[in-house]
Structure 1
Amino acid sequence: MLMTLSGHSAATGGHTTAPRPLVIGATGMVGGLILRRLAEAGQQPIGVSRHPQAAPGIEWLTADLADPAGLALPSLETVYATSPAALVADAIPALAAHGMTRLVVFTSTSLETKQNSDDPDERELIRRWADAERRIIEQCAARGIAWTVLRPTLIYAEGRDANVSRIAALIRRFRFFPLAGGGEGLRQPVHADDLAQAAIAAAARPACFNKTYNLPGGETLSYREMVGRIFDGLGLRRMIIPLPGLVWAVVVPLAAKVVPGISGAIVGRMAKNMTFDLTPAATEIGWQPRPFRPDFRR
């Protein structure tokens, strides 16, 4: 598919400006926030999406990353990629051909926490994701492109994510939340806007070149307390009900009809610690994520 341009032109008065930052996956949760912050900083970013959304100070390229041969790109330097890693890996030759010298790409800490999942489909998904990350790094290294891989933990943005906001939707509907056991597994939810800021900071810092960073949230708390904070963010009284494993064996198949994506593996992880050290990112990126205080009432 040939890309089409809309919005502000990259050249004025016959003089070509320096390459502007390109954001792939620019209408997604994190990509959209990267785009907004770049625009607010006066960097005139270019957003790539199949479904552009008009916004001041932003030029759009309408495209499908699944067709890298059809990418009609402008001159590039810095690229931010929040699209699926496999699509990004496939697009690197085209991006490099148009001058990309710097790539900041998102994958996930799930590559570590879910690689031994009880769910075979989930294990296969993680295997493909890890392979895509490896291909991104290898292709960038072969072309002299400075890369940075950012691996967030549990991403949230009130009303937009498939993690925290999904729990919030269940609580709104039923006014309680069932836990597997005590829900003692530790979590570090991270806000999408903190990730956007980290990506922009990492892109500009040579110390971050050719490195992978885990990006946990600013607070470590149990799964139970995380759910409790979601109740708080909804302005509702906490009603958290522990259920034994035998009950969950019955509940999960029924819940899957109401909550897409729920599985026994997800329930089992309520007791598993999924935490990471933020020190490397704090030292080299300046990573200072906010504590987990979601607000669904704004």
Structure 2
Amino acid sequence: MARMASSIAFLAGARRGGSAAGDGVGAHRFVRRCTSLPQAARDRSPAGYAGPMESASSLPRSPWLVFGLSGQVGDALCELRGRDDPQLLAVSRVARPDRPGLRWTQGGLPDFAPAPEPAPAAVISLGPLDLFARWFEACPLAPARVVALGSTSVHGKRDSPDPAERALVETLTAAEARLAAAAAARGTALTLLRPTLVYGRGRDRNLSRLVRLARRLGWLPLPAEARGLRQPVHADDVAAAVLAALRAPQARPGLFDLPGGETLAYDEMVARALAAGAPGARLRRLPGPLFRAGVRLARLSGRLDVAGEGVLARMDRDLVYDGAPVRDALGLQPRPFRPGPACFPEDRDGRPV
């Protein structure tokens, strides 16, 4: 029973928190605090945002300034970057070696002070939105475009019984509003993307953690009612959306949810992940009371970081978002959820990454 409790607690903890990535209130604030355009220009903009639009031909061949490039979406962006794209100027807290098309500079948010030359044509945020919004509010830059990642946690965790999750929603919603206001004041076209559950590079905190647990135990517990719908999105598709927003001949300002290309039940999503990353591991669907008893036992032990009730409540809730606006604006076609072994890599010693 103790081992079952530990594995259940690990499973519950895998969904704790939110990615650095709104609810209706957040979207309303976003629209309200952005600049207005003539009607013709608004008609060309995505629904829900009336930000500035400019031609890509007017963008100078200056670098793209990037925060969060060392993460999983950043890895994908580096691989998808084309030869015709501007050089990347990436900010990192630790020193990293340059390579063709990529130059690193040391610093961190929100205190990073950009060099005056060359001024970046665009700024990209792939990391925590709150820190980036604080930095952008205070920095003197006025780039033509900003592309930033938020999170659909502002939808799914808004009514969570977990106070920490509700606080996260407030933080993200406020960051969206502050960033939108700062961009509008400078005439910057802001494209804010809210990915759903990101996977594909073995560095996420959701499916990869479950796969690692299944590899160790040979099985994975799940409550029988874990049938809520999900739309996992591949990290490469998130990176493709960022690049599409930067490369578009006309800016595509707006706030977009970014779901994956398939909607499926939570337990089916986990089953496919195990088939790809932990072949032979069994998915054990437990009665809800037994699963929750294991979580409570693990919580009382105090030896594990056990998630709150919000995680359990969402397993049978549908977290489904409209992907049509981002597809129409950026020409994006996210892939269906068909993970392979490469989505859940192991290191050279056979240990999960």
User: Is TM-score (shorter-chain normalized) higher than 0.5?
Assistant: yes
1:30-54, Cα deviation, whole Å (9 max, x unpaired): 1232234336555321111112433
Deviates more, 1:146-155 or 1:273-282: 273-282
Matched residue type, 2:125: A
Paired letter, 1:103:
V
1:1-298 correspondence runs (5 A): 18-38=61-81, 40-54=83-97, 56-57=99-100, 58-68=102-112, 70-72=113-115, 74=117, 75-93=119-137, 95=139, 97-205=140-248, 209-237=252-280, 239-254=282-297, 260=305, 262-296=307-341
Q: CA RMSD in A?
A: 2.3
Over 3 Å counting, the alpha-carbon distance change for 1:120 and 1:38 in structure 2 is: same
Residues 133 and 263 (structure 1 numbering): CA distance in 2 closer, same or farther, change over 3 Å? same
Q: Could you tell me which runs of 5 or more consecutive residues in structure 2 were left unpaired when the two chains were aligned.
A: 1-59, 346-353
What amino acid is the match of 1:173? R
Alpha carbons 1:19, 1:77 under 8 Å: kept: yes
TM-score, normalised to structure 2, is 0.73
Distance 1:199 1:225 in 2: 28
Q: Is residue 142–residue 188 contact of structure 2 (8 Å, CA) maintained in 1?
A: no
Instruction: Between 189-198 and 235-244, report the one with greater CA deviation.
Output: 235-244
Paired-residue identity, %: 36
Distance 1:196 1:291 in 2: 16
Contact 1:85/1:129 (<8 A) preserved: yes
- Structure 1 unpaired stretches of 5+: 1-16
How far apart in 1 are the matches of 2:303 and 2:244? 40
Report the AA paired with residue 124 of structure 2. Answer: Y
- How big is the shift at 1:181? 2.5
Tell me if structure 2 keeps the 8 A contact 1:22–1:45: yes
What displacement does 1:268 show?
Answer: 2.1
Query: SS in structure 2 opposite 1:56?
Result: coil
Check whether the contact 1:219–1:291 (CA below 8 A) recurs between aligned residues: yes
Cα separation, partners in 2 of 1:135 and 1:98, compared to 1, 3 Å: closer
Structure 1 letter corresponding to 2:335: R
1:147 Cα offset (Å) = 0.3
> 1 CA distance for matches of 2:293 and 2:116?
52
Cα shift readout 1:78-133 (whole Å, capped 9, x = no counterpart):
111012111111111455x2342210000011111110011111101111111111
Q: Deviations over 1:128-158 (max 9, x none)?
A: 1111111100111111111011000101123
Q: 1:116 to 1:73 in 2, by over 3 A?
A: farther
Equivalenced residues, count: 280
1:205 and 1:267 map into 2 onto residues whose CA distance is: 40
- Paired with 1:198 and 1:260, the residues of 2 have a C-alpha distance of 34
- Cα distance in 1, alignment partners of residues 141 and 286 from structure 2: 55
What letter is aligned with 1:147? L
The amino acid that maps onto 1:275 is V
**Whole-angstrom CA distance in 2 between matches of 1:258 and 1:222:** 31
Q: Partners of 1:25 and 1:273 in 2: how far apart?
A: 29
Kindly tell me: are residues 261 and 86 of structure 1, through their superposed partners in 2, closer, same or farther at Cα, counting changes over 3 Å? farther
Give the SS at the match of 1:251.
helix
Task: Tell me the equivalent position of 1:4.
Answer: none
Secondary structure of the structure 1 residue equivalent to 2:341: coil
Q: For each residue in 1:34-75, what CA deviation from the matched residue of structure 2 results, as whole angstroms up to 9, or x when unmatched?
A: 23433655532111111243352110111011214x443541
Q: Which of 1 and 2 has higher RCO (CA within 8 Å, sep 6+)?
A: 2
**In 2 relative to 1, CA 52–258 (structure 1 residues): closer, same or farther, beyond 3 Å?**
farther
Farther off after superposition, 223-232 or 179-188: 179-188
Q: Is the 8 A contact 1:31 1:81 kept in 2?
A: no
> Contact 1:146–1:209 at 8 Å: present in 2 too?
yes
* Structure 2 partner of 1:11: none
CA distance 1:82–1:50, shift in 2 (3 Å): same
